[in-house]
Amino acid sequence: MCAYNIYLGVALSVVLLSASVIQVQGGDERVLKLRKFEKIQQDEKAIQSSLSISEPDAEDHRTISGELKTLLTIDNEWKVNITVLRKDSSEKDYSMFKDVPIMGACELMDTYYRRFFYDTLKDYSNAPHPDNCPLAPTELQIKDYPLNASMLKKLLTPGFYLLNGQVLKDDEIKIMYMAELQVE
């Protein structure tokens, strides 16, 4: 996601991340475990991205850090596609839970990115302002951005989730991340 490819992890909620399990607990709230997070595909001639998740601190909080280098101008012709699949138990097959409408990069920056991410991201990164789209080729960094799964825990019912986030240009995948989550 242009500014938000780093935040595809953040847009997957943000979406959340690492090869180990993330547990977020509190009172009677649900527990969200991140089972897997990985970059599936990347067109290195267009976008170069790396994300990492910290080990949990004493209070089981984690942060995300990473870099994103865009080698081409990102405009509204670049599309973001996020799909969420769900299953009740590990023995069942996934089925469609939420197919988020495909959005252009500038449209996404002007809506979800502006409303939900920019105000906190700017404190941990050199994230572009939502009005700065199209984006010229650039290098973006995010450092120690606190993962907050509270919104996801409210939205997701207990079960297993598979989240796929893709950035496309001319129907070609330029980058794709995948996360496997469990909500108890």
Strand (E) positions, 88-171?
95-99, 103-104, 138-146, 159-169
Asked if residue 158 lies in contact with residue 184, where contact means CB atoms within 8 angstroms, the answer is yes
What is the pLDDT tens value at each position of the chain, 184 positions in all? 444 443 444 344 334 332 223 334 444 567 777 788 889 999 999 999 988 877 777 776 778 888 989 999 999 999 988 888 999 999 999 999 887 789 999 998 898 888 888 888 899 999 899 999 999 999 999 999 887 766 666 777 899 999 888 999 999 999 999 988 888 8
CA angle 126, 105, 97 (to 5 degrees): 110
| Nearest residue to 24 via CA among 51, 53, 48, 66 | 53
The domain 2-183 is placed in CATH, from the list 3.30.1510.10, 2.70.220.10, 3.30.390.10, 3.40.50.1820, at: 2.70.220.10
By CB atoms closer than 10 A (0-12, 13-18, 19+), residue 165 is buried
Asked if residue 7 lies in contact with residue 105, where contact means CB atoms within 8 angstroms, the answer is no
Q: How far is CA 141 from CA 49, 117, 126, in A?
A: 10, 15, 6
Domain map (residue ranges) of the chain? 2-183
**What confidence score (pLDDT) does residue 150 get?**
67
**CA–CA dist 83, 61 (Å, integer):** 26
Q: How far apart are the first and last CA of the chain?
A: 29
**CA–CA dist 56, 53 (Å, integer):** 9
Tell me which DSSP letter residue 172 carries: E
